[in-house]
A = this chain, B = another copy of it.
Amino acid sequence: MTVWDRPEPPARPVPLDRERIVAAAVALADEGGLEAVSLRKVGARLNAGPMRLYGYIATKEELFDLMMDEVQAEILPAEPAGDWREALRNLAHRTRQAALRHEWLADLLGGRPAFGPNGLAVAEATLAGLDGLADVDTVMRAVETVSAYFTGAIRREITYLRAERATGLSKHDWQRASGPRMTRMLATGRFPALAKVVHDGTDVDAETSFATGLDWVLDAVAARLTPPPA
């Protein structure tokens, strides 16, 4: 019985870790959206069966948690912000950029607590930028208000982006000219104010719209952080 006769031992399975699992899941989600992420497909990318993953995660939801935290790393600013306004603005814009790179992020944003290591780091960096400017409760409210704004704004942006992609029409055109139902509804005269906005409104690009609303909110925060001189 020489070596030649004996078969090679079965290939030891490539060792796995959460990092590789999450990377595979993120890749799948980037390509096909969240619904393209199945434990079977993630496993397949790693030459593993679906059950193999259960050594690293207890449930599919946990995989989503890990994916979110992975993206938080992209949001973490490279260097501390100059002032509080820049800190909050950066947080908002970096989150938006991450969502444009990973559209599925919009589906998860605000839908689960983000308390992974990177999520905590992002929170820390943000809060550090506001430290000492007001009592903790005011600071907290400021962060929450800004976060609520950009969470909602990003979701809407991605939602319309998907709708445009699905119909091949810009939001404006789609409401105005083409959406046959929309046109018909507006023509009934039951929605005068809406009709006016759809008709006369400018089709402003998403980024400036996001930035403008953000500036408004930041102004509001400013008014509370540094109360006007008495």
Chain A residues packing against B (C-beta within 8 Å): 106-107, 109-113, 115, 117, 120-121, 123-124, 127-128, 130-131, 136-137, 139-141, 144-145, 147-153, 155-156, 159-160, 163, 182, 185, 190-194, 196-197, 200-202, 204, 209, 212-213, 216-217, 219-221, 223-224
Query: A149 near B156 (CB under 8 angstroms)?
Result: no
**Residue of A111, A115, A194, A216 with most chain B CB atoms under a 10 A cut-off:** A216
Distance in Å from the Cβ of A136 to the closest Cβ of chain B? Answer: 5
The docked-state distance in angstroms from the alpha carbon of A137 to that of B197 is: 8
Interface class of chain A by DSSP: helix
Residue of B nearest to A144 (CB): B213
With A120-B185, A151-B155, A185-B120 as contacts: A216 and B145 at CB distance below 8 Å: yes
With A110-B152, A219-B223 as contacts: A213 and B141 at CB distance below 8 Å: yes
**Residue of A163, A192, A193, A194 with most chain B CB atoms under a 10 A cut-off:** A193
Distance in Å from the Cβ of A107 to the closest Cβ of chain B? Answer: 7
Residues of chain B within 8 A (CB-CB) of A149 are 145, 148-149, 152, 217
The docked-state distance in angstroms from the alpha carbon of A195 to that of B107 is: 29
Query: B152 near A147 (CB under 8 angstroms)?
Result: yes
CB<8 Å pairs between A and B, sample of 19:
A110-B156, A113-B163, A117-B185, A124-B191, A124-B192, A128-B193, A131-B193, A131-B196, A137-B201, A137-B204, A141-B216, A144-B156, A144-B209, A147-B156, A148-B151, A216-B217, A216-B223, A216-B224, A217-B217
The docked-state distance in angstroms from the alpha carbon of A10 to that of B140 is: 64
Residues of chain B within 8 A (CB-CB) of A136 are 196-197, 200-201
Query: B191 near A120 (CB under 8 angstroms)?
Result: yes
**Residue of A136, A147, A185, A224 with most chain B CB atoms under a 10 A cut-off:** A136
Question: A155's contact among B110, B124, B223, by CB below 8 Å, is which?
Answer: B110
Residues of chain B within 8 A (CB-CB) of A109 are 155
